[in-house]
A and B are shown apart, each in its own frame.
Chain A
Amino acid sequence: MAKRSFLIPGVDKRLLIKDSIKTMPDLTRRRFIAGGASLGALTLLTGCDVIDSSSAEEMLKTVSKFNDAVQDFIFNPDALAPTFPESAITKPFPFNAYYDLDDAPEIEADDWKLEVRGLVDNKKSWTLPELYNLPQVSQITRHICVEGWSAIGSWTGTPLRDFLKLIGADTRAKYVWFQCADKDGYNSPLDMRSALHPQTQMTFKYANEILPRAYGFPMKIRVPTKLGFKNPKYVISMEVTNDYKGGYWEDQGYNSFSGN
């Protein structure tokens, strides 16, 4: 390994890479590191530099798309996530984000409005009291994080499909794209089929209490058939669209479908 780390005699490959990635924008940097590390491991396995990082990354992306197509073909997108009794709820339910709780958005209920955009008949913004007036349902489901951990929680709110009907959304559109108040601008696209799933919910309460700041006050989108990062918190707008607009984690390489 020590011998192989010299690309040009006298130049340490790792230092060279380290220096050059400093000049890249954040996103490119992360991707480059991902590719570089897999290249390193492959080099270790094959003992030669036959695979460059970009072709390995292309191959992985292709397989990921193939996986999406296979999943689309063999699985039922309307399958219901298992529900649990109240006794199964995880206490305390973990706070989880890419920042500390202190950095979580602090939203004033009176200042907040849900903005609605894109392929909908009624683009009016919604205040919190207006949303609270919509019929709500409760569900106890398991939240599964892309990292592997999971926790069972109780969420109450309006089924997203009812709201989409109410605002006259074109449900033939491909995505509902959510934008959030998290620092660095969190956003995430949800495929329409999942948006119309009976358990997908605009969540206003956790454990029958107004959604606390830690869990996404004032509104979270709870999608029990998707991994946690596809369950945006602190939502400020939704857009019904045919365009794939990317997402905070999706852009960094998490599979965008990420359905359970």
Chain B
Amino acid sequence: MSSLTVIDEQVAATPAKVIQPAWVRLMHWVNALAMILMILSGWQIYNASPLFGFSFPREYTLGGWLGGGLLWHFAAMWLLMINGLAYVITGLATGRFRKKLLPITSSGVLHDVRAALTFRLGHDDLTVYNYVQRLLYAGIIVVGVLIVLSGLSMWKPVQLYYLVMLFGDYPTARYVHFFCMAAICAFLVIHVLLALLVPKSLRAMIIGR
């Protein structure tokens, strides 16, 4: 009995550190689903009138044809936008962005990129993001904002004319939208690869610790 009490006290005294709070985990996975739906339906839409000399393989598109792809895109956009907006607001309001992502210094990034490429980047404390993570996570938030703004410009170029002007014109907004998608796909590949290399980071994003 007394030994049990001791264990309880120990647990209470040193609770396992929460690396990813519940709201981050929830929004992360909602975002993952929304992103995949947006990318696959977006590839379907791209294929209707390719910007470059290639199309995406049909197997990796959603909706069956342009009309279906558009329906998926304009349905999943709600998931992406509401979740993304909630994430940015919570991230700013709780100070998480400031605490976790800042500062980003060029020397820090250079040092950690070199360490990462030589597999010497430490992952002892997952609550502190290294400079590679800070740069990628902050960068992808900026890309996320850009892809939503350029997407809105293409969706409502008359109503949101001032937004279109921000990008120059409608065709430019279309290119921005494409390159943001490409950046997100590149991020996705690196992000998943790194998470698999450090599995406890994946665990933290699922169960929190």
> CB within 8 Å of B: which residues of A?
30, 33-38, 41, 45, 59-61, 63-64, 67, 71, 75-76, 79-82, 142, 144-150, 224-225, 249, 252-255, 259-260
Contacts and interface: CB of A to CB of B under 8 A. Distances in A.
A63 B74 contact: yes
Contacts of B137: none
Contacts of B66: 146-147
A148 B45 contact: yes
A123 to B, nearest CB: 33
- Which of A60, A61, A67, A81 counts the most B-chain CB atoms under 10 A from its CB? A60
Contacts of A225: 158
A30 B65 CA distance: 9
Contacts of B67: 34, 249, 252-254
B156 A148 contact: no
Contacts of B194: none
Interface string B130-172: 0000000000000000000000001011110100100000110
Contacts of A64: 71, 74-75
Q: Which 8 pairs from chain A and chain B are nearest by CB?
A: A37-B64, A253-B67, A147-B49, A34-B64, A34-B68, A147-B48, A63-B75, A260-B158
Contacts of A224: 158
Contacts of B46: 148
A260 B157 contact: yes
B70 A254 contact: yes
Interface of B: 36, 40, 45-46, 48-49, 51, 61-68, 70-72, 74-75, 78, 154, 156-159, 161, 164, 170-171, 174
A126 B174 CA distance: 41
11 contacts: A33-B65, A34-B65, A35-B64, A37-B65, A38-B72, A60-B75, A63-B75, A75-B156, A146-B70, A225-B158, A255-B74
A225 B159 CA distance: 9
A108 B63 CA distance: 41
A196 to B, nearest CB: 16
